[in-house]
Chains A and B, each alone.
Chain A
Amino acid sequence: MHLAELKRGEKATVIGVAQGDAFCHLCSLGLNAGAEVEIVRHLSRRAMLIVRVDGSDIALRAQTAAAVKIAQERHP
């Protein structure tokens, strides 16, 4: 599962980021393995995501977010 598949308000944990063009940049934004992510909102028909990463907000294209693999926390 990747970051762009999350719905608004859902939380998950980053497992890893696919190596690629944006790899380094995404790491620098805090998208490291173990980071907690939450979708704050979607913009432009889900093409842009506002994501809370370990408490600070970032914005990224859904295309870019697809490189971030996540595992969703199970809520009872």
Chain B
Amino acid sequence: MSEFRTIGLIGPPNVGKSTLFNRLTGLRQKVSNYSGVTVEHRSGRLRGTSQVILDLPGVWSLQPNSEDQHIAVSILKGTQPGVDKLDAVLLVVDGTQLHRYLTLIHEVLACHLPTMVLLNMADELHARNGFVDTLALARDLGAPVTLISAARGTGLDAIDHFLKGEHGASQILPVLQRGGNAAGCVTDCHTLRHSGAYRRPHHSKFTRALDRWALHPVLGPFLCIIAILAAFQIIFRLAYPAGQALTNLLNNFGLHTAALLPDNLVRAILIDGMWNGVASIVGFLPQILCLFLVITLLEDSGYMARAAVIADRTMGRVGLNGRSFLPLLSAYACAVPAIMGTRAIPSKRDRLATILIAPFMTCSARLPVYALLIAAFIPARPLLGRFLGLQAAMMLALYAIGLLAALFTAKILHSTMLKGPGASFAIELPNYRAPRVRTVALAILDRTKVFLSEVATVILVLNLVIWFLAHLPFHGTQAGDVGSSILAKIGDAIEPFLRPLGLNRAVGISLLTAFVARESVVSTLATLYGSVNIGDALRADIGLAGAIALLVFFALAMQCTATLAVVRRETNSWKWPLAQFAYMTVLAYSGAFITYRIVSALHF
């Protein structure tokens, strides 16, 4: 019997399918999307062979009632455009929960492809005193069955034998079960159990004991908050300064290199246009890596599900469910990993809603801008005696505005575009386990690869475009000044729209440059005003009301090319990021307008 050329790897989510895929292929994999949908297409070559393994979307059943399942079914049937017909199937399920997966096993076997059933987590099954007689099960199913541990890499040689076609054809070809229909789980489980072929593993006592605390009505939320605070401490104390230091280092390197190059247009494009973009992306990395680390640790240890349960009640009020909680929370550090983290949300609708509201959370990149603008434009007056100054109050208000806008948007989305029954929430509480270094490292590596290859390129291109706009037309061999650039012309054009907000042309131009990096608002203003103390200059120009309106605009507008790029990547279309951008700009504009009117009328 000849080798199988194309092999499909199928199984439910969270049974170690990706770990097995990584084991089988090493890192030689390609990730793309199936045309027109957000479902990921992963394929790779089996180690040491030319056989291709396709990682099918994680499915619980083959009823085509979701995008993932639809694609999995059409791949199994060989009707998915652009995907080769499968020659064989590896079906992986969690061996410790075999009774749950018998329906899926029968459905897959009914597809008549040579199939091997892999019972993963064999180590845990044995450790918890469970037992599966693989031969008896194989006889019953009419397909080869083997116990493996993808995390430890045991039992994988049986897969090799199967894929090399070393079993007899009669053993491999599945027998149609009970008239072609998937047999009910109940009878099979009972039969298996009674015949002694299957013994359910004992519960993990450790998990139960821990859940008594983690899901306690009072202590649970408390522990959850402590875990989150610890994570944020790591990100803000370690990763954020590390990123800042890295950016400074790279910028200095750019400056030193610039000194060596002749002073012309090429240097300006290379250093200002491109290198600074690279520096800001690399400076971003420590934070993003750190967030990925925290998210994967929470996922892999099993705590993520408990946090979702605890947060569900609060999230339910705005039509979301508990699973959106951690992604939204990580958006307080940075929206980019948060949006990538929404992949853990199974419902497409909830996932999209979470992606759309995540950029409203006050991310760490907004913080220095807030601090700078507040220090520059908001006078340090006491507001509530000695306890709360106007500056601190402004900062708190900006955080609150972001959160309120997110909740408001979620509510609107829930009752309009993303309307659905959606009130249901059910989640498995997996056993706690020590996160495995290999699994966590591979997950982080994978997400970082996506970030660098797909998000970073978009950021670079957009940054370069804005740089050119800010410096065209060129004067001979020198880049033009921002004040007389195309961007300034655009600034002139939008100025009438900014007037009602109390803002002027200089602010308009600086808002445009802020797309590249929010910090550049201040430096652009400095260039345009030509004075060091822009605070005084601007206060004279736009007044306190204008300054507060500007801050509100900043809190609500989607001024981040990285977020735009990652939303495009995660939704696999430009439609959503553009709609989101338009919506947030309109909201920011209205918010700033109302703020300006109110503050003007009140006081100044």
Q: Give residues in A with beta carbon < 8 Å to B.
A: 20-22, 24-30, 32-34, 41, 43-44, 47-48, 50, 54-61, 63-64, 67
CA distance A52 to B215 in the complex (A): 14
Min C-beta distance of B157 to chain A, whole Å: 30
Closest 3 CB pairs of A and B: A28-B60, A60-B426, A22-B424
Q: Which of B506-525 contact A (CB under 8 A)?
A: none
Whether the Cβ atoms of B316 and A61 lie closer than 8 Å is yes
Query: Which of B103, B201, B426 interacts with A26 by CB under 8 Å?
Result: B426
**Residue in chain A with minimal CB distance to B63:** A24
Q: Give residues in B with beta carbon < 8 Å to A.
A: 12, 60-61, 63, 65-66, 97, 99-100, 103, 184-186, 189-190, 200-201, 203, 207-208, 211, 215, 217, 220, 305, 309-310, 312-313, 316, 346, 420-429
Q: A41-B215, A60-B425, A61-B316 in contact; A34/B305 too (CB < 8 A)?
A: no
Residues from chain A with Cβ under 8 Å of B429 in the complex: 50, 56-59
Whether the Cβ atoms of A64 and B426 lie closer than 8 Å is yes
Query: Which of A21, A41, A60 interacts with B420 by CB under 8 Å?
Result: A21
CA distance A23 to B205 in the complex (A): 30
Residues from chain A with Cβ under 8 Å of B215 in the complex: 41, 43, 50, 59
Q: A21-B421, A28-B12 in contact; A61/B200 too (CB < 8 A)?
A: no
Apart from A50-B215, A60-B424, 8 more pairs, CB < 8 Å: A25-B426, A30-B99, A30-B100, A33-B186, A56-B429, A57-B211, A59-B215, A61-B316
CA distance A43 to B310 in the complex (A): 8
Residues from chain A with Cβ under 8 Å of B312 in the complex: 44, 48, 61
Query: Which of B97, B207, B305, B309 interacts with A30 by CB under 8 Å?
Result: B97
Residues from chain A with Cβ under 8 Å of B103 in the complex: 27, 32
Residues from chain B with Cβ under 8 Å of A43 in the complex: 215, 217, 220, 309-310, 313
CA distance A28 to B211 in the complex (A): 22
Whether the Cβ atoms of A27 and B61 lie closer than 8 Å is yes
> What would 29 A/B residue contacts be, using CB atoms closer than 8 Å?
A21-B420, A22-B424, A22-B426, A24-B60, A26-B426, A29-B100, A32-B185, A34-B185, A34-B189, A34-B190, A43-B313, A44-B217, A44-B312, A44-B313, A47-B313, A54-B200, A55-B200, A55-B203, A56-B203, A56-B428, A57-B428, A57-B429, A59-B215, A59-B309, A59-B426, A59-B429, A60-B425, A61-B423, A63-B423
Residues from chain A with Cβ under 8 Å of B60 in the complex: 24-25, 27-28
Among B100, B217, B310, the most chain A Cβ lie within 10 Å of the Cβ of: B100
CA distance A60 to B425 in the complex (A): 6
**Residue in chain A with minimal CB distance to B207:** A57
**Residue in chain B with minimal CB distance to A54:** B99
